[in-house]
Amino acid sequence: MPALTYRSLLRQTRALAKAIRGATEKHKKMAKAMEDEAKDTGRIAEQIGALKVDAATVAETREVSRIMQGLSTAALAYATSAEEASRAATAAEREAMRLHDGIQEAHDRNPVEMANAVWYSQE
């Protein structure tokens, strides 16, 4: 397992936040598309009902519309949770910078080479 360094921590948290933001936007678009399809399906149910299509077909079409609306609602809730995860990843990046940036700067300015990492893990 590679060592976790300050720079890799920042890189990973930035990448995580970016990936979550991208997925969140995709989920929102999908939820909106599902909502639009659910409304269209509901309108179709009304139209076929007006055309005197059998009641079972109209009822099934209405049920599909309700199911699609439920899926849209769930997808939107998932996107909202993903937004919260994105904010948490961004906050983790800021916290890492706040806690460790000074340490990294001191390390970068230090002219003395660090000791072998195995030495630190010995008891």
Q: pLDDT tens across 48-87, in order?
A: 999 999 999 999 999 999 999 999 999 889 888 888 888 8
Tokens read off for 60: 């099934």
Residue 116 pLDDT level (bands cut at 50, 70, 90): low
DSSP-assigned letter for residue 89: H
Q: What per-residue confidence (pLDDT) applies to 90?
A: 83
Q: pLDDT tens across 15-52, in order?
A: 888 888 888 888 889 889 999 999 999 999 999 999 99
**pLDDT at residue 101 tops 90:** no
Higher pLDDT: 123 or 24? It is 24
Q: What per-residue confidence (pLDDT) applies to 45?
A: 94
Question: What residue ranges do the domains of the chain occupy?
Answer: 7-104
103 Cβ neighbours under 8 A, 6+ residues apart? 6
**CA triplet 113, 120, 4: central angle to 5 degrees?**
80
Buried b (16+ CB within 10 A) or exposed e, 49-85: beeeeeeeebeebbebbeebbebbeebbebbeebbee
DSSP-assigned letter for residue 51: T
